[in-house]
Amino acid sequence: MPGLAVIGHPVAHSRSPDMQTAALSDLGLAGEWTYGAIDVSPEDFEATIAELSAAGEYAGVNITVPHKEAAVAMADEATESARAIGAANTLTFRDGLIVADNTDAGGLLRSLPYLPDGERALVLGAGGAARAAIWALADAGVKVDVWNRTRSKGEELAAHFKVGFMEHPNPADYALIVNTTAVGLGGEDAFAHLPLTADSFVPGQVVLDMVYTEEPSALLAAAAAAGATTVDGLEMLVQQGALSMRIWTGEEPSIEAMRTAVRR
């Protein structure tokens, strides 16, 4: 019975097991495949992945915070996108090899109501999810600026991807704002940690917050009140998860079944 799982630290809050189990069920594979969650500390990450790959019981795993960059670094093979992004959220164990891929990039693009080609986007953060967002948007022809609380890391990331860095961005200048940071996940005030205020948003913008909580995040609530189109982290989770499932099984899972499971 091939095993699948999401690996992170912490990972107990993840809705991936419910979502991917629903996907397997819709594909008629629930009796053959399983999907769980494994909490792995950074110091144990490489050893754990090596053990899972060697044991032969797992077909692959999803990777979440804080392991995405370590995942691509230790892989035997990686797709062009994973190498270019420098982070992986999907590992496949095949023929004794660890193969890295990144479905965050494709999941982001599939989550958007439209692609702001030629317009400006602001990406908040500098972790693995930010790397995927920057690469995907820039590759699609969007003009990207990066903001990060630690300026040196933000500038380094912007230089790596040949995009702009903004220490004090004006949110109204952007057709798309993507929050890739974990701010808000623990219930803290996002506006105290991000270069945004509740009145920063304007009608016609698209605002995507990768944080997912029971209720719309404060960031998305303010954006919606201003007339912006909002996309929450659950939609992003579903879209990237569907791409991962297709990699492992070769089948296209039901997006609706996955959405229902994560919003239950």
pLDDT at residue number 184: 76
- Residue 130 and residue 98 share a domain: no
189 or 249: whose pLDDT is higher?
249
Residue 1: both structure tokens together: 């019975």
Number of helices and strands in the chain (H, E): 10, 12
Query: Strand pairing partners for 234?
Result: none
Q: The CATH number of the domain where 68 resides is what?
A: 3.40.50.10860
Of 125, 118, 123, 150, residue with least CA distance to 134: 123
- Residue 50 and residue 86 share a domain: yes
Instruction: Say which residues have a Cβ less than 8 Å from residue 31's Cβ, sequence separation at least 6.
Output: none
| pLDDT, average across residues 188-202 | 92
Burial of 246 from C-beta contacts in 10 A (0-12 / 13-18 / 19+):
middle
The domain in which residue 112 lies consists of 106-231
Q: How confident is the model at residue 213 (pLDDT cuts 50, 70, 90)?
A: confident
Domain count, the chain: 2
Beta strands (DSSP E) in the chain are 3-8, 34-39, 58-63, 77-78, 90-94, 97-101, 120-124, 143-147, 164-165, 176-179, 206-209, 229-231
pLDDT of 1 > 80? The answer is no
Contact 71, 100 (CB under 8 A): yes
| pLDDT, average across residues 23-42 | 96
- Residue 159 and residue 125 share a domain: yes
- Residue 257 and residue 151 share a domain: no
pLDDT at residue number 122: 98
- Residue 98 and residue 146 share a domain: no
Give the chain's largest Cα–Cα span.
53
Gyration radius from the chain CA atoms: 18
- Residue 241 and residue 221 share a domain: no
Using CA atoms, how far apart are residues 140 and 225, in angstroms rounded to an integer? 29
- Residue 150 and residue 81 share a domain: no
pLDDT at residue number 216: 85
pLDDT at residue number 235: 96
pLDDT at residue number 222: 95
- Residue 147 and residue 56 share a domain: no
Tell me whether strands 3-8 and 34-39 are parallel, antiparallel or unpaired: parallel
Mark out the alpha helices in 89-232 (DSSP H runs). 104-111, 128-139, 151-161, 218-225
Using CA atoms, how far apart are residues 200 and 49, in angstroms rounded to an integer? 42
Q: How confident is the model at residue 212 (pLDDT cuts 50, 70, 90)?
A: confident
Using CA atoms, how far apart are residues 129 and 142, in angstroms rounded to an integer? 17
pLDDT at residue number 188: 78
Q: What is the pLDDT of residues 127-153, one digit of tens each?
A: 999 999 999 999 999 999 999 999 999
Just list the catalytic residues. Answer: 68
Q: The CATH number of the domain where 113 resides is what?
A: 3.40.50.720
Residue type, 47: A
- Residue 78 and residue 8 share a domain: yes
- Residue 255 and residue 206 share a domain: no
- Residue 97 and residue 205 share a domain: no
Query: Strand pairing partners for 94?
Result: 97
pLDDT at residue number 215: 81
- Residue 224 and residue 252 share a domain: no
Residue type, 150: T
Q: What is the pLDDT of residues 160-190, one digit of tens each?
A: 999 999 999 999 999 999 999 988 777 778 8
